[in-house]
Amino acid sequence: MSKLGSIGARLYRGEVGYDFIGKRKIWYGISILITITALVGLAVRGLNFGIEFSGGAVFTTSKTAVSASHAQHTAESAAPGHQAMVQKLGDGSLRIQISGLDTKQSLPVQEQVAKDLKIPVKDVNTQLVGPSWGEQIANKAWLGLGIFMVLVVIYLAIAFEWRMAVSALIALVHDLTITVGIYALVGFEVTPGTVIGLLTILGYSLYDTVVVFDSLKEASKDITKQSRFTYSEIANRSINGTLVRSINTTVVALLPVAGLLFVGGGFLGAGMLNDISLALFVGLAAGAYSSIFIATPLVADLKEREPAMKALAKRVKAKRASAAAKEADREDAPGQGPDAGEGAEDDAAVVGPRHQPASRNRGRGRPSGKRR
């Protein structure tokens, strides 16, 4: 931990760093490839909407020793043409979901499930969800997402500037696309918990981005009054200065979510946790990635197009070229090699009392001052 803290302090002071901005085309290419893969998965496989969005019936049984796969086969045979999703609950009961069933179609399924599981029909609880209710949920989810995006752009434009607002919006769309695409590829069910997870990861992604933007805003004050660094270089220093903090917060946030997804949903079989935990896990990782590799490099690209930033880049380049030329002349000049003048510099660097000549000290300390 102390070593990590030392690295973080050196990154913050600019003593070490990685050129994130200089390699931004690589990150753009990786992000485009991942986004295309997500979109292809979304177009080919589509999303597996739960009954909250598509409508259908939910059957909950009492405690039974029948396996989930056997109950799924029974439910699908009782409702031809429909796919059933069965989850084993913690108390030993079963939860069977079948999308697209109405009241008339649900009654035979309830009777068949009760008969096959050898339990009374009254012990199979049936709940119907109409498609209109699911459509209302979907519309409200899209409305909430749109309002969130608009408020984010307005806030960032006021607190920082419009270039940062645009970059943050692109990063958020990037995170959403990747998360939804992975949902399509994996085939997890999309439920209201998924929507909650998506809104949560958008807030987290925005938090990481704002941390970097705040550091960049502070570091770029009066940037045109100096000629040592370009805007891209200052942006790169801001990323490196907040890198350890971003990594720490991301890892700490991913650990409990990974526990929900892999241990709770996978090992323990609590499938109802998968819908929200997958969105959180993928979204948190994508948000940390986009804040470092997407949002800030985009801001640097947009800012470097300004006339003032172009003039600054020319001044920095000219100053560095002049310094390099002077260094080359100093090395090429006779007697001005790297070791020349070291003695003079060492003498000049020594500061202390001047020593008097030995003749002036003769006779001191004796009463008469005469030689013996």
> Per residue in 183-204, pLDDT tens?
888 887 787 778 888 888 888 8
- What span, in angstroms and rounded, lies between the C-alpha atoms of 238 and 229? 12
Average pLDDT score over residue span 170-177: 90
Q: What is the mean pLDDT of the chain?
A: 78
Please report the pLDDT score of residue 134 as a whole number. 66
Yes or no: say if 78 and 109 are a contact pair by the CB < 8 Å rule: yes
Yes or no: say if 171 and 290 are a contact pair by the CB < 8 Å rule: yes
Which tens digits make up the pLDDT trace of 241-275? 888 888 888 888 888 888 877 776 555 555 556 77
What secondary structure letter does DSSP report for 294?
A: I
More confidently predicted of 181 and 273 = 181
More confidently predicted of 356 and 85 = 85
Domains in the chain, please, with CATH? 2-49+133-312 (1.20.1640.10), 56-129 (3.30.70.3400)
Instruction: Please give the backbone phi and psi of residue 55, each rounded to the nearest 5 degrees, phi first.
Output: 85, 155
Of the candidates 249, 174, 156, which has an alpha carbon nearest to the alpha carbon of residue 210? Answer: 156
More confidently predicted of 110 and 297 = 297
Of the candidates 203, 172, 185, 200, which has an alpha carbon nearest to the alpha carbon of residue 289? Answer: 172
Average pLDDT score over residue span 151-160: 88
Instruction: Please give the backbone phi and psi of residue 58, each rounded to the nearest 5 degrees, phi first.
Output: -125, 125
**Helices 231-258 & 307-332, crossing angle to 10 degrees?**
110
- What span, in angstroms and rounded, lies between the C-alpha atoms of 28 and 246? 20
- What span, in angstroms and rounded, lies between the C-alpha atoms of 215 and 43? 39
Please report the pLDDT score of residue 369 as a whole number. 44
Q: Does 141 have pLDDT greater than 70?
A: yes
User: Which of 11-15, 229-233, 314-318 is predicted least confidently?
Assistant: 11-15
For residue 111, what are its two tokens? Answer: 């009777």
What secondary structure letter does DSSP report for 259?
A: I
Give me the residue label for tokens 């946790």: 273
Which tens digits make up the pLDDT trace of 12-37? 555 667 889 989 999 999 999 999 99
- What span, in angstroms and rounded, lies between the C-alpha atoms of 292 and 31? 12
Average pLDDT score over residue span 126-140: 74
Please report the pLDDT score of residue 263 as a whole number. 72
pLDDT above 90 as % of the chain: 17
